[in-house]
Amino acid sequence: MSATHAFDVVVIGAGLAGFRAALRSAALGSRVAVIERMPDFGGSSILAGGFFAFAGTDLQHSRSIKDTDELLRQDLLELGHGANDPALVEAYVKYQLEEYKYIVGLGTHFMELQPSSGHSVPRGHRADPKQLMSILDAQARAEKNITFFYSTRAQRLEKAANGSRINTVVTHGTAGEVNFEARQGIVLCSGGFSRAKDLLQVFAPHVRRSVPAGGLGNEGDGLKMAWEHGAAFADLGYVNGTFGTYPYPEADELPAVIFPVYRGGICVNKQAKRFMSESKSYKSLGEAVLLQESGIAFQIFDQKIMDQAVADVPSYNFRAIEAKGRIPKADTIAELAGKLDIPAHTLADTLGLYNRDVASGVDSHFGRTNLSHTFGNLAAIDTAPYYGFPSTAMLSTTYGGLRVNAGMQVLNIWGDPIPGLFAAGEIMGGLHGESYMTGSALGKALIFGRIAGESAAAA
Ligand SMILES: Cc1cc2nc3c(=O)[nH]c(=O)nc-3n(C[C@H](O)[C@H](O)[C@H](O)COP(=O)(O)OP(=O)(O)OC[C@H]3O[C@@H](n4cnc5c(N)ncnc54)[C@H](O)[C@@H]3O)c2cc1C
């Protein structure tokens, strides 16, 4: 016979969404179990670049950046191309500033503000995810209402004997098979499926050439568990890799991305031709690069852009990648083309046309108007030495997942809530729609984790 533990709320997954859900439920008086299949907390959250999409913060004010809820809402909807669920966008916008203040109040230090993919104004608030997760871990450990169960893998969800709602998580771990009964609610925070070959094959075969980068436990267990109970999915058709990673990582290397394109570089394929506007989201670039020969492109840039490298922002720390010998450098375009093994004449033509277009103010090929999204002015790439970084897409995040309502209740395929079941973070879809704003994945783990914790505690 399996042992049974009874709690008010059972949270599956000890990433950012799980921590936030647990802390919120516990603060509202619920006794909470957090079940994590790995021996330690973190998931993808602790591996992240640390960017959060917040608007109207004191940090932005201090830099005279005018950002508002309205602008954030507009950007999210514009990026989603009408495929995002407006109720989820609204929920994000409503709580984002409160959640920013909450984690700042706990001691989270936001180091830097960066404009990035999908931002009309610099909105990428960067924290150290290790610091943030350690702070939340300490908070949770100090909370008498929260108990952690590590190395414990949730396997199935079961309904109460009277069939009224899902109330049990069947787990397997070092203590053997253990059932966790939830009097109020079960919150799925088990992250995405970037490590699940079987689910990727079904939902996102187009990303099979990308470099895997998500948390090692992110095999889509929660999706399967909810699926068994009729859960509906959202946004799964839009899973894309993140552009900008080196295609030939060492074994066990944690892939990193860099974006010289968002400082004014261009992107060319093996034929030395541009293939889209480089100011698009890195998800769109990720999708496009995998369609190029060998799934590879080259970010081409010059010394002016290299001089904008930022040492403590990984995605702009071009020097760190250069130091690894991964960014060939040359005094002429022809020499650079030789080092990248792409046609020199075509690269010269591509750059020549691009620079003329920048001077005339019209990108005649792809209509690029800004550095990233609608931010920043284009400049000619004309200052030697020149650089080229071979880039492909990494699969860090799967974005789409369970369909939920604004209270984070998981919905079935008919649009009705599945009683007893909530979800937050990367396991759920609906916020992003077709594309993705930098910082909105960590943002949604935090914000929707809070809402899910609140809803479960009220159930
Ligand atoms: C390299 C990288 C860089 C990124 N950079 C950014 C960024 O800068 N900004 C941004 O917004 N987003 C970024 N992301 C995405 C973002 O980190 C994630 O979407 C977010 O952290 C997901 O949080 P989560 O709590 O939902 O899931 P996770 O943090 O992945 O946590 C899920 C947890 O559930 C556990 N779990 C899974 N299955 C089970 C099971 N059956 N039983 C028990 N536990 C289970 C996992 O082991 C994991 O610990 C990045 C991701 C990566 C990988």
DSSP 59-105: HHHHTT----HHHHHHHHHHHHTT-S-HHHHHHHHHHHHHHHHHHHH
> For residues 439, 445, 447 and 452, what is the CA-based torsion angle, rounded to 10 degrees?
160
In this structure, is the dihedral angle defined by the CA atoms of residues 436, 441, 446 and 449, taken in order, positive or negative?
Answer: positive
Model confidence at 290, in pLDDT bands (50, 70, 90)? very high
Q: Average pLDDT for residues 302-331, to the nearest whole number?
A: 95
Pick the more confident residue, 190 or 252. Answer: 190
Please state, in angstroms and rounded to a whole number, the distance separating the CA atoms of residues 382 and 332: 10
Tokens of 165: 């709602």
pLDDT of residue 191: 98
Which of ligand 1's atoms lies nearest the C-alpha of 315? 8
Query: Of 45, 148, 436, which is best to mutate to test ligand 1, by the most ligand atoms within 8 angstroms of its C-beta?
Result: 45
Model confidence at 114, in pLDDT bands (50, 70, 90)? confident
pLDDT of residue 247: 95
pLDDT of residue 430: 97
| 117, pLDDT greater than 80 | no
Model confidence at 433, in pLDDT bands (50, 70, 90)? very high
Say which amino acid occupies 313.
Answer: V
Model confidence at 389, in pLDDT bands (50, 70, 90)? very high
205 cis-preceded (ω within 30 degrees of 0)? no
Query: Which residues have CB under 6 Å of ligand 1?
Result: 12-18, 35-38, 42-45, 47-51, 153-154, 189-191, 213-215, 217-218, 221, 396-397, 425-427, 439-443, 445
Q: Are 146 and 20 in contact (CB under 8 A)?
A: no
Tokens of 318: 């071009």
Say how many Å lie between the CA of residue 431 and the centre of ligand 1.
Answer: 16
Say how many Å lie between the CA of residue 239 and the centre of ligand 1.
Answer: 15
Model confidence at 374, in pLDDT bands (50, 70, 90)? confident
Q: Average pLDDT for residues 348-377, to the nearest whole number?
A: 94
Please state, in angstroms and rounded to a whole number, the distance separating the CA atoms of residues 124 and 126: 6
Please state, in angstroms and rounded to a whole number, the distance separating the CA atoms of residues 394 and 313: 18
Read off the DSSP letter of residue 243: E
pLDDT of residue 107: 97
Q: Please give the model's pTM, rounded to 2 decimal places.
A: 0.89
For 449, other C-beta atoms within 10 Å of its C-beta total: 31
Q: Average pLDDT for residues 195-223, to the nearest whole number?
A: 93
Q: Are 402 and 231 in contact (CB under 8 A)?
A: yes
Question: Tokens 């108990």 map to which residue?
Answer: 147
Say which amino acid occupies 61.
Answer: H
The residues with which 302 forms a beta bridge, in sequence order, are: 386
CATH number for 3-237+396-458 (one of 3.50.50.60, 3.40.50.150, 3.30.1360.10, 3.10.150.10): it is 3.50.50.60
Q: Average pLDDT for residues 311-316, to the nearest whole number?
A: 88
CA 358 to chain centre: 31
| 436, pLDDT greater than 80 | yes
Residues in the chain: 459
For 323, other C-beta atoms within 10 Å of its C-beta total: 10
Closest alpha carbon to 375 in 257, 238, 261, 240: 261
Domain boundaries, the chain: 3-237+396-458, 242-395
Closest alpha carbon to 138 in 108, 166, 171: 108
Which of ligand 1's atoms lies nearest the C-alpha of 396? 53
Q: Average pLDDT for residues 141-150, to the nearest whole number?
A: 97
What three-state secondary structure class fits 1? Answer: coil
| 112, pLDDT greater than 80 | no
Say how many Å lie between the CA of residue 11 and the centre of ligand 1.
Answer: 14
Q: Average pLDDT for residues 218-242, to the nearest whole number?
A: 96
User: CA geometry: angle at 101 spanning 100 and 104, to 5°?
Assistant: 85
Please state, in angstroms and rounded to a whole number, the distance separating the CA atoms of residues 162 and 168: 13
> Per CATH, which fold does 242-395 belong to?
Flavocytochrome C3; Chain A, domain 1 (3.90.700)
Say how many Å lie between the CA of residue 46 and the centre of ligand 1.
Answer: 7
| 346, pLDDT greater than 80 | yes
Tokens of 215: 């948390």
Q: Average pLDDT for residues 334-362, to the nearest whole number?
A: 98
| pLDDT, the chain, mean | 95
Dihedrals φ, ψ of 125, to 5°?
A: -85, 115
Say how many Å lie between the CA of residue 293 and the centre of ligand 1.
Answer: 30
- 343 exposure class (CB count in 10 Å sphere: 0-12, 13-18, 19+): middle
Which of ligand 1's atoms lies nearest the C-alpha of 394? 1
Please state, in angstroms and rounded to a whole number, the distance separating the CA atoms of residues 440 and 445: 8
Please state, in angstroms and rounded to a whole number, the distance separating the CA atoms of residues 202 and 200: 5
Say how many Å lie between the CA of residue 397 and the centre of ligand 1.
Answer: 7
Question: Tokens 């046609």 map to which residue?
Answer: 343
> For residues 399, 402, 404 and 409, what is the CA-based torsion angle, rounded to 10 degrees?
-130
Say how many Å lie between the CA of residue 24 and the centre of ligand 1.
Answer: 19
Which of ligand 1's atoms lies nearest the C-alpha of 442? 11
Query: Of 12, 44, 444, which is best to mutate to test ligand 1, by the most ligand atoms within 8 angstroms of its C-beta?
Result: 44
Model confidence at 344, in pLDDT bands (50, 70, 90)? very high
